[in-house]
Amino acid sequence: LTGTAVISDDYTLSGATTLTGTTGTVIFPAGSLTTTLTVTPSDDQRFEPDKTVIVRIEPGAAYGIVYPANAKGVIVDDDATDRIYLPLLSKRRAIARWE
C-alpha cells in the first residue's frame, strides 16, 4: 500500500488476510482471477486535500501477475473549508481578500 493517504488515519482496509504496516496478504479463491480489498475512508471532519491509495501486487512463485499490477483510488475530501473570505473595500472597488 502506498499513496498520500495513511492507513488507520485516512482509511481502513478490509479483505486482507494479514496486514502489517503497509504490507499484507490476500487470498484468491481456487479458480478465481479476482479478489476484493475494501478501502473505507475515515470521516475526520477536517478540510484537507484529496488523497490517494495505491495497491500493488508483488510477483510470487505460485502465481503470475497480469500487468499493470497497481490499482489506484482517490479519497475525495467532503469536509467544508474553514476559510472565510472577506473583501477589503476601497472607495472604488474590492482590492483584495483574506485567506
Residue ranges of the domains in the chain? 11-97
pLDDT at 96 over 70: no
CA angle 69, 75, 77 (to 5 degrees): 165
Give residue for cell 490517494: 52
Q: Give residue-wise pLDDT tens across range 11-59.
A: 999 999 999 988 999 888 888 888 889 999 998 888 889 999 999 988 8
CA angle 71, 6, 56 (to 5 degrees): 25
Quote helix, strand, coil % in the chain, to nearest 5. 0, 35, 65
> Cα separation of 29 and 8, whole Å?
27
